[in-house]
């Protein structure tokens, strides 16, 4: 109301209220009025103004209370969600096995030979010290044979079985019959031994023989 009085050019709020009351009564400002009626009018107008401000304040208090209630509800909901999420994470970690980072271990030369049974020198790409490698395999028990053009390392257990088949079981020089006795790896070694002139077929005995007895050692 003070702002309204100032806008109308009044310095005192009481003067503005007085003129407002007289205007409401429909009387000129200079004319005398009933003081009791004036008091009642002023009281009513003041009460109306106060009621307007009280309504605004109460409305603000109500909206503030609703806002506080919503914030509390949100906080409670957030706490529940955090608790549920923590339980889910804990349960997941409890049931998941601990995984160790996998490390690809390089196999040693002799381990590779035991697995593959045969290592041809031509298949050892990127190997710089081949002489040292074959000496190492020989020290570990592998059979080393010098073929025509390359060396071959053979797993000792495999070689013992293979040489028994070549020199004791095979009684023919027909390839189709030989293939029935030897596996593919053994047949490849047999062919390489024959082409390198390290074995020959004794037709009188119907047996394959080594040119040098060191071969069967």
How much of the chain exceeds pLDDT 70, in percent?
76
Position 31 in a domain: yes
Is 115 within 8 Å of 153 (Cβ atoms)?
no
Q: Answer left, alpha or beta for residue 113, where phi above 0 means left and psi between -120 and 50 means alpha.
A: alpha
Q: Are residues 117 and 79 in the same domain?
A: no
Query: pLDDT-derived band of residue 39, with 50, 70 and 90 as boundaries?
Result: low
Domain co-membership, 141 together with 170: yes
Where in the sequence is the domain holding 64, given as residue range(s)?
2-93
At residue 112 the predicted structure's pLDDT band, cuts being 50, 70 and 90, is very high
State whether 79 and 114 are in the same domain.
no
Rounded to the nearest angstrom, the gap between the alpha carbon of residue 19 and the centroid of all alpha carbons in its chain is: 81
What is the C-alpha separation between 87 and 109, in angstroms, rounded? 50
Residues 46 and 132 in one domain: no
> Does residue 121 surpass a pLDDT of 50?
yes
Per-residue pLDDT at 213 exceeds 70: yes
User: Is there a domain that residue 137 lies in?
Assistant: yes
Query: Same structural domain for residues 82 and 48?
Result: yes
- Tell whether 137 and 177 lie within a shared domain: yes
Facing residues of 152 across strands? Answer: 120, 145
| Same structural domain, 120 and 89 | no
> Rounded to whole angstroms, how far apart are CA atoms 57 and 147?
107
CA distance 154 to 138: 9
Structure tokens that stand for 99 in this block: 């995984």
Contacts of 43 (CB under 8 A, 6+ apart): none
Based on the fold, state whether residues 83 and 174 are members of the same structural domain: no
Mean pLDDT of the chain: 82
117 and 195, same domain (yes or no): yes
- 100 in a structural domain: no
- When mean pLDDT is compared over 26-40, 112-126, 155-169, the highest value belongs to 155-169
Average pLDDT over residues 79-108: 62
Find residue 199's DSSP bridge partners. Answer: 210
CA 203 to chain CA centroid, Å, is 67
Both 50 and 119 in one domain: the answer is no
Is 119 among the domain residues?
A: yes
Whole-number pLDDT of residue 102 = 46
Average pLDDT over residues 187-203: 96
Q: Terminus-to-terminus CA distance in the chain, angstroms?
A: 123
pLDDT confidence tier of residue 101, bands split at 50, 70 and 90: very low
The verdict on residue 125 lying in a domain is yes
Residue 162: predicted pLDDT: 96
Tokens representing 134 are: 């074959």
Total tally of structural domains belonging to the chain: 2
42 plus 9 within the same structural domain: yes
pLDDT score of 6? 74
State the alpha helices, DSSP H only, in the chain. 2-7, 13-25, 35-95, 109-116, 130-139, 156-164, 175-181, 184-195
Tokens linked to 59: 């409305």
pTM: predicted TM-score of the whole model, two decimal places: 0.51
Residues 123 and 45 grouped into a single domain: no
**What would the two tokens of residue 103 be?**
């490390």
Q: Within a domain: residue 99? A: no
pLDDT band with cut points at 50, 70 and 90 for residue 66: confident
């Amino acid at each position: 109301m003070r702002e309204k009085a100032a806008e109308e050019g009044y310095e005192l709020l009481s003067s503005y209220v007085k003129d407002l009351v007289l205007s409401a009564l429909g009387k000129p400002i200079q004319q005398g009025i009933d003081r009791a009626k004036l008091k009642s009018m002023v009281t009513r107008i003041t009460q109306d103004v106060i009621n307007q401000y009280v309504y605004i304040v109460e409305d603000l208090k109500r909206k503030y209370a609703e806002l506080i209630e919503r914030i509390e509800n949100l906080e409670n909901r957030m706490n529940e969600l955090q608790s549920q999420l923590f339980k889910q994470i804990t349960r997941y970690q409890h049931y998941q096995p601990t995984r160790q980072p996998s490390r690809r271990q390089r196999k040693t030369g002799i381990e590779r030979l035991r697995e593959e049974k045969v290592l041809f020198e031509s298949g050892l790409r990127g190997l710089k010290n081949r002489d040292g490698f074959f000496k190492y395999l020989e020290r570990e028990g592998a059979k080393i044979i010098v073929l025509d053009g390359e060396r071959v390392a053979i797993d000792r257990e495999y070689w013992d079985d293979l040489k028994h088949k070549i020199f004791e079981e095979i009684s023919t020089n027909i390839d189709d019959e030989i293939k029935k006795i030897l596996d593919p790896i053994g047949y490849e070694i047999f062919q390489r031994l024959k082409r390198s002139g390290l074995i020959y077929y004794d037709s009188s005995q119907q047996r394959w023989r080594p040119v040098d007895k060191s071969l069967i050692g």
